[in-house]
Structure 1
Amino acid sequence: MTYLLYIMTLFGYGCQSLTGGDIALVSGGKSNYVIVLPADAGKNDQHAADVLKDYVKRMSGASLNIVKENTLKDKNQPAIFIGHTDHAANINTGEIKPEGFMLATDSRDVYVIGGSGKGVVYGVYTLLEQYFGCRKYSQAPATVPKVKDVRVPAQLHDLQEPAFTYRETYYPAAFDNEYLEWHKLHRFEDLWGLWGHSFFKLVPPRAWFSSHPEYFALVKGIRQPTQLCLSNENVFRLVVDSLRQAIKENPDAMYWSVSQEDGGGYCTCDLCRKVDDEEGGPSGSLIRFVNKVAAQFPERQFTTLSYLYSSKPPQRTKPASNVIIMLSSIDALRQEPLSTIPSAAAFRKNLDAWGTVTSRLFVWDYTTQFTNYLAPFPDYDNLQPNLQYLSGHKVSGVFSQGSGDTHSDMAEFNAYVQAKYLWDPKADVDKLQDDFLQGYYGKAGKNMRQYVNALENTLKQTKAPLDIYGNPVNHHRDYLSPLAIDTYSKLLDKAEAAVETQPELLKRVYTARLPLEYTVLQQSRFFGTEPHGYLEAKGKEYVVNPRWPERIRKFTAACKAAGVTTLAEGGVSPDGYQQEWDSLLARKWVSSLAFRAPVSLVNPPAPEFPGKGAQTLTDGLEGGRDFSLNWLYLYGKDLVAVIDLGTAKPVNTVFMHFLQDARHYIFNPSRVSIAVSEDNTHFTDVGEQAVTPLQGEDYDIKNTPVSFKLTGKAVRYIRITGVCPTDIPVWREAPESKRPAICCDEIYVQ
């Protein structure tokens, strides 16, 4: 069986049987076919012909001439007709939707007929993949079979049209131009003249806030550069003027975003509030404003985000005909499909509600862990059900946000299958995934399938939440437990062994292992002095495991080789990660009378960031810049911790750190006090300190030390109280329901 027939039989490509025979385009490395373009061929026709010629030559060595139809004199010349040639008029295509295409044959000739846009280009790439056996698995060069014969079924009639008009999967592979065309994807930079959160691109606070604060949102009675004041006529004029200039500079852009900034802080001035009251929420002033702007440019298409405070549609005003709503699914967890998971209930309700007022709906979806791009994120089997659900609910465009241009967990796999589902949500999942895993990993494909399945199954069995803002440390007891990681690692060991003599395939398996190694390293910070930690006992002290420095160095080198540029959204580079570890490894472990001492808390940590619970304060580990690692996180509540030293011991000093991270609404306590007791009932206050609050806008992450000098008197119980601030600073905009958090790390007693 030839490679082509094997591919077609195994994966069902091409909906036609071969009972009508084959057309031999190339036989024995030679061909008498030509590629024929319309007399008035456009750039897409020409590009499609060039691609086809190039790949046929790479496959078979045969070089097909490209000619215009009006120069074709011999009626008996066999040909591949590209685009809307006169010959193609004999093919019954009907009306092909934009970017769709028809692949057709009669008894001799081949036709690639495209709808508008790049339909004809997509048709050629589909011919190469589904009928000639070529593959483009990643941003690496395409896989091209070396054959002497190239055949295509006779009497073929393959019409394909996209399920979504806008299709983007945001992973490194999609930054490759050929990958984009091959998989029929879009890139927002190519379609949007202005993308995403755009208010401040149109009216920059740095240019206008100091002189015209009234252009910006009134929040808690104070004008703040959080959003625009949408009832201000000067704001409207500035937005229109900015758009007019931008459109003039980029007249070919298909869409223009007029959208809120990331976060909250919408305007509550009298005029904006009046509109929002009439419309039942802050999306009212937004949609009225965007409609008003869109009316100034009736020939243009605008998008606006339905996100956070604007997620519900207005009760009275409908989006204009040239306004597209882009609804975000940001609040949904990812261990189950969007159609059923409880955390997506509000999203489903809002999607249905928008569907009753507009037929123009896009969705901004999420398929990676933004706080830890390299963490295993096994949402793989939910990707297709999610797109099927969206396709069935009037959604016509999807931005599937992955890790962007940096490598992340199974990035090539995710990009590939998402691209296929975006074109056809009903694609055969098993055949598609097996095609990728066997083609991209070669003989290791079987083991990679086992690895993917093991991650998915363990996630389900442990009922672990899968959060786009999660942390692999939080899963040390479920699907990323040390025992589970050992199981996954053994499967990858087998994968490596299967391709140990093939360096390129072996490198791909190494890259797939990076998320496991990252998880081990991150969890080793958490485990610390315990098994699986980066420290080991040496007498009564703890020192760095001697294997760790080299392990970290190899990891960061492998990250850079794999194309990892950042480990989290807005996070550190591999070199920065190495520097973090260098600082941690250089830190001498500090002994404490409270090491591993029992701790009782009046207020428990937030369930989203449990850490080690109360023992976070006496596990011998300090926190760093990441609030979710080795910090006791208390949301909107005071820290009241009582440490039991076991017996009365002389105490001279007690010290600790608190975290300041305004980006995550974490602030220093307003004051910290210490009290001691012999019986855990009667406490004596022995110190109190006020902590200076932030005096203005400050998003730097800082550790604030707090220490107390005691008399050296023997005590058994020590109570630390950190008072949580009552309000979030006005400059740090937040939803009304949002409360500040405080974080404390190790409490040292000496």
Structure 2
Amino acid sequence: MTRIFHNGETIRIKTAVAPSPQEKFAAEELCAYLERMTSTAVEQCDESYEGPVIAIGGVCGEYGVPVPEGDDAFTLKTVGESLCITGGKRGVIYGMYELLERLGCRFFTATCEKVPFVDELTIGDLDETQRPDFIYREHAYYEHRQYSRFALKSRLNGANHPIKDEWGGHIRYSWFVHSFQNIISPEEYGESHPEYFAMDENGERVLTRDKNQLCLSNPEILPIAIEAVRRNLLEHPEAEIISISQNDWRLDCQCPECRRINEADGASSGTLIRFVNAIAEALEPEFPHVTFDTLAYQYTRSAPTVRPRHNVAVRLCSIECCFAHPFEDCCRDSNTTFVRDLRDWHKTGAQLYIWDYVTCFNYYPTPHPNWRSLQPNMRLFRENGVKGIFEQGCCAQRGSTDLNELRAYVLTKLMWNADADVDKLIEEFTDYYYGAAGKYIREYINLVCDTAVKEGDHTGFNDKPLHKYLEKEHLTQYDGLFIKAIDAVREDTIRRYRVEKARLSIRYVRFYRDFFENGEADRRELHDLFDEWEAFGLGRMEEDADRTTTRKALLRGKPIGINLYWHWTFELRQYYHGGRFDFLLNSKAN
């Protein structure tokens, strides 16, 4: 057992004479937290000091502790009465936060940290090196995008989390997906070279702005694409990943040559992988540090027989899936085929990334019963060689409801270690963040998940709040737990505020169910709901429109804000070919 602090003793933190910026930050941050925990001054010392210390960074070599390989890896090792923390440029900082968590700190949200006050700090013998299960870790929740220091504490390192270099930096991305329009646009080439663009099933080249694809078998577009990508990389020398990926539009080129290649390669992704491989091969000598990323999305989701190059990453998207059940356990065909595609891509040897969905995008506040799917899905990704994860959650500025703070916390832990104890994570978070109401929040989570399973519900990424688990009798049960939660923290102003905000999800669903049943909004209830929503400082209720537009849409008898925009409604019908996603558009209110 190593004693770090006891009743007023001085804690000394040791670094090299000229520490790296990351080592310097780790030492300063550790000083600040240990002083908060002990109310005792913490001193930094240099290599000349020989007593018990917490050694950080390169100076750990004096104690026989080498730096582990990898930017995110770290080692914690006790040597005699001293403790060593060393790691890569981010890892040395992660190791410092790991020590604080072992000493009882928790970083739940950007504005809610648990920092215990103690008379003594001890830690058992340590000799542990950690590396993340996924080298790229990113999600879309508001606080981590807004507060980069919180993203650092949560060990996120993706493009949505711009962390300063002195804090270890982040993995820099250029052209973050759907980038064909950046490479060859119909504005520039549509009139002179319509043959550069994908052909639809009627034999027409589609040149609609932003809603087109490329004819990847046309040999003339490859040199244009190579030069466009090269130019972008020269303009962004910091980029480690560049996306060469289809636009967000369902159009698989039907020209004879594209069809021939894809049929020979066994999937519509054949032409795509050949195209990205060619660009990656041409530019590798000039940009050996860059990974060329593409999407396996909708019509390109299945793996071809052609193998992606070593410097090509494939980002597989789960947009069609049911999220109420783990992907492997769900009987729905979309999940079965997704798991098949995941395994097939793994067999190709691809550097595999995931784009996953963890909210209801058109109806953000809807209770999403995916709590028991998060860990099994993360383990499935790890078992199939996935290297990076992007969890697309609620993107609303200033956050939303549906316990998003907790879901974000759990996801960040799972992206580091897919075997993390989720029940313990949820219990620790809810007990501190919601105080005495925490047990009722956990009951609510379990009841929502149990009810969705009992009712046989499958939930997609964009479903209306009309599932059986959201019927009025169940909403009454959920709301009863929130009433108990509020009673438990009635005198605790901060925690009551948090519970009341979370309860808005139930009120929101009640309103929307009445809206869909009656075909129009109760005006008084609509304005009361929005007034309360705004009073909590919350932003949008759906992904693609702000709350003012959503309110306007409801007043006009339309369920979501994008229904007010003709171009959205028209193009969505074209995009989804009038098929699986008609629920976006066809309702009594539309």
TM over 0.5: yes
Q: Identify the residue that residue 435 of structure 1 maps to in structure 2.
A: 428
Q: Number of residues paired by the alignment?
A: 565
Equivalent residue in structure 2 for 1:213, among 194, 198, 201: 194
Q: Identify the residue that residue 367 of structure 2 maps to in structure 1.
A: 376
Q: Identify the residue that residue 414 of structure 2 maps to in structure 1.
A: 421
Percent of residue pairs identical: 28
More helix by share: 2
Deviation at 1:576, TM superposition (A): 3.0
2:74 counterpart of 1:101 = yes
Q: Identify the residue that residue 281 of structure 1 maps to in structure 2.
A: 267
2:195 counterpart of 1:202 = no
CA spacing shift, 1:296–1:506, aligned 2, 3 Å: same
Q: Identify the residue that residue 247 of structure 1 maps to in structure 2.
A: 233
Deviation at 1:122, TM superposition (A): 0.6
Q: Identify the residue that residue 395 of structure 1 maps to in structure 2.
A: 386
**Structure 2 portions without partners, runs of 5+:** 161-169
Is the CA contact 2:4–2:11 (under 8 Å) kept in the aligned structure 1?
Answer: no
1:378-412 residue CA offsets vs partner (Å, 9 max, x unmatched) = 11111111101111111121111111244242110
CA spacing shift, 1:745–1:158, aligned 2, 3 Å: closer
Quote the Cα distance in structure 2 between the aligned partners of 1:744 and 1:256: 39
Equivalent residue in structure 2 for 1:557, among 523, 526, 531: 531
What pairs with 1:323-472 in structure 2 (closer than 5 Å)?
Answer: 323-343=312-332, 344-405=335-396, 406-472=399-465
**Structure 1 portions without partners, runs of 5+:** 1-19, 535-543, 585-622, 630-658, 665-697, 701-727
Is the CA contact 1:471–1:628 (under 8 Å) kept in the aligned structure 2?
Answer: no
2:204 counterpart of 1:222 = yes
Is the CA contact 2:552–2:561 (under 8 Å) kept in the aligned structure 1?
Answer: no
Q: Identify the residue that residue 164 of structure 2 maps to in structure 1.
A: none
1:639-669 residue CA offsets vs partner (Å, 9 max, x unmatched) = xxxxxxxxxxxxxxxxxxxx997756xxxxx
Equivalent residue in structure 2 for 1:137, among 108, 115, 126: 108
CA spacing shift, 1:128–1:369, aligned 2, 3 Å: same
Deviation at 1:499, TM superposition (A): 1.3
Task: State the SS of the aligned residue for 1:222.
Answer: coil
Quote the Cα distance in structure 2 between the aligned partners of 1:744 and 1:173: 34
CA spacing shift, 1:250–1:660, aligned 2, 3 Å: closer
Q: Identify the residue that residue 506 of structure 2 maps to in structure 1.
A: 516
Deviation at 1:119, TM superposition (A): 0.5
Deviation at 1:313, TM superposition (A): 1.6
Question: For the aligned residues, what is the CA RMSD?
Answer: 2.9
Read off the aligned partner of 1:624 and give its amino acid letter: K
Task: State the SS of the aligned residue for 2:369.
Answer: coil
Is the CA contact 2:550–2:560 (under 8 Å) kept in the aligned structure 1?
Answer: no
Task: State the SS of the aligned residue for 2:283.
Answer: coil
Is the CA contact 1:36–1:81 (under 8 Å) kept in the aligned structure 2?
Answer: yes
2:20 counterpart of 1:24 = no
More strand by share: 1
Read off the aligned partner of 1:224 and give its amino acid letter: V
Higher relative contact order by CA 8 Å / sep ≥ 6: 1 or 2? 2
CA spacing shift, 1:502–1:264, aligned 2, 3 Å: same
Q: Identify the residue that residue 166 of structure 2 maps to in structure 1.
A: none
Task: State the SS of the aligned residue for 1:274.
Answer: helix
CA spacing shift, 1:186–1:628, aligned 2, 3 Å: closer
Quote the Cα distance in structure 2 between the aligned partners of 1:82 and 1:492: 46
2:126 counterpart of 1:156 = yes
Could you state the TM-score of these two structures normalised by the residue count of structure 2? 0.89
What pairs with 1:43-192 in structure 2 (closer than 5 Å)?
Answer: 43-69=21-47, 72=48, 74-76=49-51, 78-91=52-65, 95-114=68-87, 116-131=88-103, 133-147=104-118, 149-175=119-145, 176-189=147-160, 190=170, 191-192=172-173
Q: Please tell me whether Structure 1 or Structure 2 has the larger radius of gyration of its CA atoms.
A: 1
CA spacing shift, 1:743–1:193, aligned 2, 3 Å: closer
1:80-132 residue CA offsets vs partner (Å, 9 max, x unmatched) = 111121545423x6845541211222342121111x3300111111111222x
Q: Which of 56-65 and 393-402 deviates more?
A: 56-65
Task: State the SS of the aligned residue for 1:365.
Answer: strand
CA spacing shift, 1:103–1:462, aligned 2, 3 Å: same
1:441-493 residue CA offsets vs partner (Å, 9 max, x unmatched) = 11111111111111111111111221212111x22xx2111111111111111
Is the CA contact 2:67–2:75 (under 8 Å) kept in the aligned structure 1?
Answer: no
Is the CA contact 1:104–1:158 (under 8 Å) kept in the aligned structure 2?
Answer: yes
Deviation at 1:167, TM superposition (A): 1.4
Task: State the SS of the aligned residue for 2:329.
Answer: coil
CA spacing shift, 1:95–1:138, aligned 2, 3 Å: closer
Task: State the SS of the aligned residue for 1:413.
Answer: helix
Read off the aligned partner of 1:23 and give its amino acid letter: R
Deviation at 1:254, TM superposition (A): 1.6
Quote the Cα distance in structure 2 between the aligned partners of 1:366 and 1:426: 20
Could you state the TM-score of these two structures normalised by the residue count of structure 1? 0.70
Q: Identify the residue that residue 36 of structure 1 maps to in structure 2.
A: 14
Quote the Cα distance in structure 2 between the aligned partners of 1:277 and 1:110: 59
Read off the aligned partner of 1:151 and give its amino acid letter: L
Read off the aligned partner of 1:314 and give its amino acid letter: P
Quote the Cα distance in structure 1 between the aligned partners of 2:79 and 2:536: 46
Is the CA contact 1:328–1:363 (under 8 Å) kept in the aligned structure 2?
Answer: yes
Quote the Cα distance in structure 1 between the aligned partners of 2:535 and 2:154: 25
Quote the Cα distance in structure 1 between the aligned partners of 2:439 and 2:576: 48
Q: Identify the residue that residue 494 of structure 1 maps to in structure 2.
A: 484
Quote the Cα distance in structure 2 between the aligned partners of 1:738 and 1:447: 37
Deviation at 1:369, TM superposition (A): 0.7
